[in-house]
Structure 1
Amino acid sequence: MTTPELHGEKTQLRPWRETDLDVVLGVTDDPLIPLISQVPAERDTAGALAFVAAQIERSEEGLGWAWAVVPCGGGEVVGYVGALWVAEPAGRASVGYWTAAGGRRRGLMSDAVTTASDWLLVDAGVARLEAYIEPWNTGSIRVAERAGYEREGLMKSFAPIGGRRRDAYLYARVAR
């Protein structure tokens, strides 16, 4: 399985590279991203390298896909979009995403999640994409809804975040 380059209206999605360390190091001090992702919680080059390596391995091992998000026309990586198989035989995968502070409120992540989701549901054999979003995370909720995801319900005590079990909304988008 490979992670292809994808092109949206505002973003280019490409596989992660070892040269993408700056964005990973830059989001280590974000109050939320290290809690809900594999981004290390400390500004550490070895940890950032491990994050990038894990994104590359995800595809190589057939576990899912991971993209670095770059604005169209080039520039620095502004975020991450990825999907992991939850139940591959059933065609279910979970999608996750984050945006570095400099890439927010520009419509980039909505475009990136839409672009990745379109490809996953049409070309990658995924029948159902799920996003698990904390109820207070209004930015992520807006991204999911703009990308065509619909809220299906609230999952109580879904996962530990910051040392405490938290609720999450279940959003889904299905293949047509």
Structure 2
Amino acid sequence: MSRIGKKPVPVPEGVTASVDGQTVVAKGPKGELKFVVNDEVLIKLDDDGIKVDPRDQSKDARSKWGMSRTMIVNILEGVKSGFEKRLEITGVGYRAAMQGKNLQLSLGFSHEVVYEAPEGIQIAVPKPTEIVVSGIDNQKVGQVAAEIRKYRGPEPYKGKGVRYADERIVRKEGKKK
């Protein structure tokens, strides 16, 4: 049984949520998001929030129950306050800069890497070694951060590359004389 799925999803202040069939629509100060819930899951809007239940006790319905609740929580939080991921760049000569709406990265290649931000995502560079990816859709924010990190992931000997701000790199010892 899903323990997280049993709790109703409270609708935060300043956010309006509506349920139309299998679609949950949330409108808030940051924008509007919608999520289409799988047919295996029932949803209804009550006074205490959005209630999520499995349609029956099949394994498929129960496995989608908790995930559906979490997705609804994410869209409600996204339209209220948004999400952000921070990336750090480590290495001599490695840096980032904004070029209009595009992110320009110098990562030790013979050419500059230019990353175009998708719709609904804001990228900021407060320092040349720090990148902040923000937006209202948690999945998009994480995907953009992962794509930027993939250009030059952190290597295990010196830790050079692009990494998440809260990521811990396990360092290797290297050669000994």
TM-score, normalised with respect to structure 1: 0.28
Larger Rg: 1 or 2?
Answer: 2
TM-score, normalised with respect to structure 2: 0.28
